[in-house]
Amino acid sequence: MNLRTLLMLLLLTSCYTSERNCKEFQTGTFEFESISTKGDTLITKFIRTKDIEIDYFNSSIDSSYVNWVSDCECIIKKINPKSMIEKKSIQMKILSTSEDTYMFEYSFVGDIQNRQRGSAKKITN
């Protein structure tokens, strides 16, 4: 491979680097949309401080501890779990960011085969 080809490859791959301004999304008020098994759009609103996340879904409110292990990755653990499944911590990693949205991947801690992806929109600081 000559130098010219190598430079072209570096130039092309650098164009596809995802922006990750994770610190801007560690705190604030966010909305997360998901689709139910019936096809309905479900909206969860959550407020996150550096250490706590409060989720508002339908008429329920739930709180979790947030532990940032790096600028782009945290562990979320329910404060008052009501079932065995809620006792499991969730690992969340921010994959990319834009002006007011971030794409993320999440799973139960240690469950690398069942990772899900989503996006959240920041609605206030």
Question: What is the domain-level CATH number for residue 72?
Answer: 2.40.128
Q: Is residue 5 part of a domain?
A: no
Q: Is residue 13 part of a domain?
A: no
Q: Is residue 38 part of a domain?
A: yes
Task: Write the pLDDT tens digit of every residue in 2-55.
Answer: 555 544 544 454 555 567 899 999 999 999 988 778 888 888 999 999 999 999
Which own/partner pairs from 111-115 qualify as long-range (CB within 8 Å, at least 24 positions apart)? none
Instruction: Name every residue whose Cβ is closer than 8 Å to that of residue 34 and which is 6 or more positions away in sequence.
Output: 41, 42, 44, 118
Q: Is residue 11 part of a domain?
A: no
Q: Is residue 81 part of a domain?
A: yes
Instruction: Quote the number of domains for the chain.
Output: 1
Question: Would you say the pTM of this structure is higher than 0.85?
Answer: no
Identify the domain containing residue 66 by its residue range.
Answer: 19-124
